[in-house]
């Protein structure tokens, strides 16, 4: 479901061939871990379709979820489940300082 969303968004912004390339990389990269969330939290009420990303990040105990989507700001107010939502600009700054 998440890979389909990635393909849709990448195709919309770039091209189908770019989407296929990115999916191929994700499916073959040794540092990508596929997981399936077994619990659906249904926390994001404003756009329920976003919940699949939150559920996946929570089940994978991800360090954070990088997004422009303001619907994920609901996690800033929740004590549990904890999900660190990071704006892409902040993540970009982090990467620049990391190198």
Shared-domain flag, residues 79 and 39:
yes
Shared-domain flag, residues 1 and 42:
no
Mean pLDDT of 43-64: 95
CB 81 within 8 A of CB 55: no
State which residues form the domain around 97: 35-99
Shared-domain flag, residues 64 and 90:
yes
Shared-domain flag, residues 30 and 46:
no
> Computed over its alpha carbons, how large is the radius of gyration of the chain?
14
Whole-prediction pTM: 0.81
In which band, very low, low, confident or very high, does the pLDDT at 98 lie, cut at 50, 70 and 90?
confident
Shared-domain flag, residues 30 and 63:
no
What residues contact residue 99 under an 8 Å CB cut-off, 6+ apart? none
Q: Count up the domains in the chain and report the number.
A: 2
Mean pLDDT of the chain: 94
Shared-domain flag, residues 24 and 42:
no
CB 74 within 8 A of CB 67: no
């Amino acid at each position: 479901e998440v890979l389909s969303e990635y393909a849709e968004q990448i195709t919309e912004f770039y091209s189908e061939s770019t989407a296929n390339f990115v999916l191929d990389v994700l499916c073959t990269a040794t540092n990508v871990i596929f997981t399936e969330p077994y619990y659906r939290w249904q926390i994001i009420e404003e756009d329920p379709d976003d919940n699949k990303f939150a559920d996946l990040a929570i089940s994978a105990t991800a360090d954070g979820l990088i997004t422009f989507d303001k619907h994920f700001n609901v996690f800033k107010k929740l004590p549990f489940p904890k999900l660190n939502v990071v704006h892409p600009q902040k993540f970009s700054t982090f990467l620049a300082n990391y190198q």
